[in-house]
Amino acid sequence: MDRFKRKLRKSYFVVNKIYLFLAFIFLTIADISLGFYYFLISLFIYLWKALRSKVPIEVDMEFQTKTFVYKKAHKRNLKLDLYLPLKAGYKNPLVFFCHGGGWISGFRNQPNNVSWCKYLASKGLAVVSIDYRYGYKNTMEDILSDYADALNYVRKNHERLSIDKDNIVLMGLSAGGHLSLLYSTYHTYNMNEGEMEGIKGVVAYYPPTDLNHIFMSENKSIFARFATRQTLKGNPVDNKEIYNYYSPINWISSRMIPCLIVHGRLDSVVPFKSSVAFVKALKKYKVKYAFLSHKKGIHSFDTRFRDIGTVNILERTVRFIKKAVNM
């Protein structure tokens, strides 16, 4: 029975919530008003869950928070939020935080990201959470340039922001984890010391490390495939070189900085085996790493689950960061 349940959870029907769409169709056919009310209720439930999504460790503290425009791109102001511990010293080790959303959605101050930033700030760390352009009208190269420009803005203004530019950890969730790993693997591989200045480690939660894995037969997520195609402007069959170029696993070298990889074994958006392969490559090149997995973890389990396993992973994440910045 348990094996059947696991297969059902990973099925195309459940992963993409096709059952909700079918219910909507049947209700609309029976009575258009019923279909309308079903749509409103489903939308309310989705928004309610999204607004309540946060890490399972409650933080009841006040922080210094400020918002800055780090770049203007195509008449749009790209912003970052800074979270500072109130009792911190002049120079605070920094977590440079990047949200997920398949490169085509999400934003820096949505509830799950804010909860992460507050949790990290409660541990005495400065946190910067960034926005970046989406892959609808922009390329992966545009997104990466935003990532780099935000990081350079923080370094350049480190005194005004009260952060220690020599003690930075890159962190990201899903697509944000991909950007963090790609930035660090690429620049360590190419020995770009200026771009890696002050960066002591990387934390990536359920990151796509080989973009070809998104299209494996066992990965049933329509959203993941659509988002990847949209951002890379094509399929992996037609754009193999592009997919390989933007996959962090292909840039690992012995110069790579310490990594913490976190992934749920039941992830139906980014395959768990993608992180397994990445960790094997880190081991091959003798890169310092830690790999944490949640036996029942789904995508975004860190802000959806409240169990002891999730709490333990969060606490171990903070320990990894503090060790990386000698805190």
Domains of the chain in start order, with CATH, are 2-49 (no CATH), 57-324 (3.40.50.1820)
pLDDT by residue (tens digit) across 77-126? 999 999 998 765 568 999 999 999 999 999 999 999 999 999 999 999 99
Strands in 76-85's sheet, in edge-to-edge order, are 63-73, 76-85, 126-130, 92-98, 163-173, 199-205, 259-264, 289-294
User: Would you state the pLDDT for residue 84?
Assistant: 92
**Residues of 142-170 as b/e, b for ≥16 C-beta within 10 angstroms?**
bbbbbbebbbebbbeebeebbbbbebbbb
% of the chain surpassing 90 pLDDT = 71
pLDDT for 260-286, tens place per residue?
999 999 999 999 999 999 999 999 999
Mean pLDDT over residues 43-63, rounded? 70
CA distance 168 to 165: 6
Of the candidates 259, 321, 317, which has an alpha carbon nearest to the alpha carbon of residue 288? 259
Instruction: From 46, 53, 164, 152, select the one nearest 100 (Cα to Cα).
Output: 53
pLDDT at 291: 98
Percent of the chain clearing pLDDT 70 (strictly above): 83
Decide if 66 contacts 55 (C-beta within 8 A).
no
